[in-house]
C-alpha cells in the first residue's frame, strides 16, 4: 500500500512541475512568451503515468525504467532547451555587451550578485554616495555602476552619469540598473 501511495505521489509531483513552470513563466512579463517551454517538462507526467500502468500490472522493473527514462529525458530537455532559453533573458546576459566594455565596475548598495560570477572578479560595493564619489574622483577611465532601480535617482545625481541599462530581475521584484560614469 505504501508503495502505491508513493507512485501516485510521484505522478502528482510530475503534474505539478510542468504546471508550476507554466504558471511561473506566465507570471513574469518578460518571460510570458516562453510559457510554452513548460511543455518540455511533460515527459515527467507521461513517464509517471506509464509507471502507474506498470505498477498495476506488477512489473516493477518497467516502473523503474519508465520513471528513470522520464526523468533522464526531462533533464536533457531542461538543460538543452529550457535553461539556455531562460538564461539568455536574465539581466546579466542581456547587459553582457554593455558591461564587457568597462575595465572598472563598482556596485552601489545592492546589486544582482550573479554579476560577480559572470564577470569573474570581485566588485567593490559602496554604501553611500560620498564614498562612491571619492572612489570615482580618482578614476581616469569610464566606470560602470551596478545597482538596483530604487537607487537610480540617487546615482543619477552624480556628475557625468547616464542610465545605460534597466531590466527586471527574473523571478524577483527588484530591477537591475547599470549606470555609466564618464571619465573625469
Q: Both 113 and 82 in a single domain?
A: no
Give 47-104 pLDDT, tens digit per residue. Answer: 999 999 999 999 999 999 999 999 999 999 999 999 999 999 999 999 999 999 998 9
User: Residue range 27-41: average pLDDT?
Assistant: 94
Q: Can you spell out the DSSP letters for the chain?
A: -HHHHHHHHHHHHHHHHHHHHHHHHHHSGGGGGGGGGGGGGHHHHHHHHHHHHHHHTT-HHHHHHHHHHHHHHHHHHIIIIIHHHHHTTSHHHHTHHHHTT-SEEEEES---THHHHHHTS---EE-SHHHHHHHHHT-SS-EEEEEEGGGHHHHTTSTTEEEEEEEEPTTSS-EEEEEEE---
Q: Which of 89, 105, 124 is the last residue of a domain?
A: 89
Q: Both 112 and 175 in a single domain?
A: yes
| pLDDT of res. 96 | 93
pLDDT of 169 higher than 70: yes
Q: Both 57 and 128 in a single domain?
A: no
Q: Both 98 and 118 in a single domain?
A: yes
Q: Which three cell numbers, joined as nine digits, stand for 32?
A: 510570458
Give 98-128 pLDDT, tens digit per residue. Answer: 999 998 999 999 999 999 999 999 999 999 9
Q: Both 85 and 99 in a single domain?
A: no
| pLDDT of res. 89 | 92
Q: Which of 89, 106, 139 is the last residue of a domain?
A: 89
Q: Which three cell numbers, joined as nine digits, stand for 61?
A: 522493473
* Cβ atoms 51, 17 nearer than 8 A: no
Give 8-24 pLDDT, tens digit per residue. Answer: 999 999 999 999 999 99
Q: Both 8 and 83 in a single domain?
A: yes
pLDDT of 39 higher than 90: yes
Q: Both 102 and 171 in a single domain?
A: yes
Domain harbouring 161, CATH code = 3.40.190
Q: Which of 89, 108, 136 is the last residue of a domain?
A: 89
Q: Both 79 and 98 in a single domain?
A: no
Confidence of residue 141 (pLDDT cuts 50, 70, 90): confident
Q: Both 65 and 102 in a single domain?
A: no
Q: Both 134 and 113 in a single domain?
A: yes
Q: Can you spell out the DSSP letters for 58-78?
A: T-HHHHHHHHHHHHHHHHHHI
Q: Which three cell numbers, joined as nine digits, stand for 129?
A: 554616495
Q: Both 105 and 124 in a single domain?
A: yes
Q: Both 80 and 11 in a single domain?
A: yes
* Total number of domains constituting the chain: 2
Domain range enclosing 37: 2-89
* Cβ atoms 95, 134 nearer than 8 A: no
| pLDDT of res. 184 | 60
Amino acid at each position: 500500500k505504501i508503495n502505491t501511495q508513493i507512485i501516485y505521489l510521484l505522478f502528482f509531483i510530475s503534474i505539478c512541475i510542468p504546471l508550476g513552470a507554466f504558471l511561473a513563466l506566465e507570471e513574469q512579463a518578460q518571460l510570458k512568451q516562453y510559457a510554452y517551454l513548460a511543455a518540455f517538462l511533460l515527459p515527467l507526467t507521461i513517464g509517471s503515468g506509464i509507471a502507474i500502468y506498470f505498477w498495476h500490472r506488477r512489473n516493477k522493473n518497467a516502473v523503474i525504467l519508465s520513471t528513470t527514462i522520464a526523468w533522464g529525458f526531462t533533464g536533457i530537455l531542461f538543460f538543452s532547451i529550457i535553461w539556455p532559453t531562460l538564461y539568455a533573458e536574465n539581466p546579466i546576459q542581456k547587459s553582457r555587451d554593455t558591461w564587457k566594455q568597462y575595465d572598472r565596475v563598482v556596485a552601489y548598495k545592492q546589486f544582482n550578485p550573479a554579476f560577480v560570477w559572470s564577470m569573474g572578479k570581485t566588485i567593490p560595493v559602496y554604501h553611500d554616495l560620498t564614498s562612491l564619489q571619492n572612489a570615482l574622483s580618482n578614476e581616469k577611465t569610464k566606470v560602470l555602476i551596478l545597482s538596483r532601480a530604487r537607487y537610480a535617482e540617487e546615482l543619477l545625481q552624480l556628475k557625468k552619469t547616464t542610465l545605460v541599462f534597466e531590466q527586471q530581475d527574473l523571478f524577483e521584484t527588484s530591477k537591475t540598473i547599470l549606470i555609466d560614469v564618464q571619465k573625469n
